[in-house]
Structure 1
Amino acid sequence: MDIHGYFGPSDNWINLLVLVHVLSAIIGIGPTFFGHVLLRKGQNYGKLRNSVGLMPLLEKFPKILGSLAVVSGILLAWLGDYGFKQLWIYGSLAVYVLIQIVVIGFMAPAAQKLVSKIMAAKEPDDQPISAEFASEVAKVNKINYIATCFGVVLFLLMFFKPTL
């Protein structure tokens, strides 16, 4: 007996899995786009401290829900009509891996360095940030733009499902 026999009509489970996949992808990747607001120009020390203080909380969304999106996507490919024969599925997985490499390998270390420095800075909250901090914020934001561009590509692959 296949998995559908245990859980009832396959269409209902597939539809539920699609819902879980879409919501986890949107909610999971969404905070990546919000990172640009946190890393905006023109902040003073107090605003930047508050902004970088939110980053660890926002990182939980992609970690948890991004992982759920991948697992549910693989299940959809396995249980649904797509199979693993379509190029857009492999492209989506590859883009997701690229996002993880950019975020975990480049952005997280740069952001962690920035957070440590800004939290240790003794300047008053109402003082504009120094050129050094502005440069580090811009560096982290540029890396975040790379991740968000890949995120847009990922959503486009999922939406249009291009084939060769």
Structure 2
Amino acid sequence: MITFYKILVILHIFSAIIGMGPGFILTTVVKSGKTMTELRHSYAIRHRLHIYVMIGGTMLLVTGLLMGVLNPSLFRMGWYDLSLVLFLAALAIGPVMLTPRSKPIKEMLASHQGEEIPEEYWRLSRELFKYEYIENFIFIIIITLMITKPF
């Protein structure tokens, strides 16, 4: 018989696939744009993928915390606590680091005339992508902790 806890574990795993999977390619999607039209299209695709990241990420947090409530010993496991702290830190990166760096890019995409990608875009995108890579690295650490449960 399948228990509610096992259902949460299954939902947690699918949430990771739905939320984290697309998150790892958000940067790659927009790097393919070579003209402003392509870049705008790439950012539109990125926006659609980001919806999955948000839904999956929310489900990850909810199912992970519910598993902790059902099995309170998880809160005494270092891998669980560290994963939770890292996940919350990664969530904070969005509004604190990514949003301020993506706003000028969005404004540029909306207002720039012509097909030539402005040099300013490359500077802004490098800064944005740096923080996205940091966030992806945090998620890799979390996934590793969840799989290995080292402490």
The change in CA–CA distance for 1:81 and 1:97 in structure 2 (over 3 A counts) is closer
Pair member with larger Rg: 1
- How far did residue 63 of structure 1 move? 2.0
How many residue pairs are counted as aligned between the two chains?
151
The 2-side partners of 1:39 and 1:142 are apart by 14
Equivalence map 1:31-46=2 (5 Å)? 31-40=22-31, 43-46=34-37
Q: 2:89 corresponds to which residue?
A: 98
Q: Once the 2 structures are TM-superposed, how far is the Cα of residue 146 of structure 1 from its aligned partner?
A: 0.8
In the TM superposition, what is the alpha-carbon distance from 1:46 to its structure 2 partner? Answer: 1.2
Instruction: Please list the CA deviations of residues 41-80 of structure 1 after superposition, one character each: whole Å capped at 9, or x if unmatched.
Output: 6622111111112233222222222111111111112224
Are 2:59 and 1:68 equivalent residues in the alignment?
yes
Structure 2 distance, partners of 1:26, 1:82, is: 25
TM-score by length of 1: 0.83
Work out whether 1:136 is the aligned partner of 2:127: no
Q: Which runs of 5+ in 2 are unaligned?
A: none
Conserved in 1, the CA contact under 8 Å of 2:12 and 2:59?
Answer: yes
Question: Which whole-Å CA distance do the structure 2 matches of 1:83 and 1:69 have between them?
Answer: 15
> Is 1:15 aligned to 2:3, yes or no?
no
Which AA in structure 2 matches 1:33?
Answer: F
| Residues 132-160 of structure 1: per-residue CA shift (max 9 Å, x gap) | 11111211111110110111011111111
Deviates more, 1:36-45 or 1:94-103: 36-45
| Alignment partner, residue 144 of structure 2 | 156
| Residues in 1 aligned to 2:127 and 2:33: alpha-carbon distance in whole angstroms | 15
Instruction: Name the structure 2 match of 1:145.
Output: 133
Contact kept in structure 1, 2:90 and 2:138, CA below 8 Å: yes
Partner of 1:26 in structure 2?
17
Which structure 1 segments of 5+ residues have no match?
Answer: 1-8
Cα 1:81–1:101 change in 2 (3 A) is: closer
* Offset of residue 97 of structure 1: 1.1
- Where does residue 113 of structure 1 map in the other structure? 104
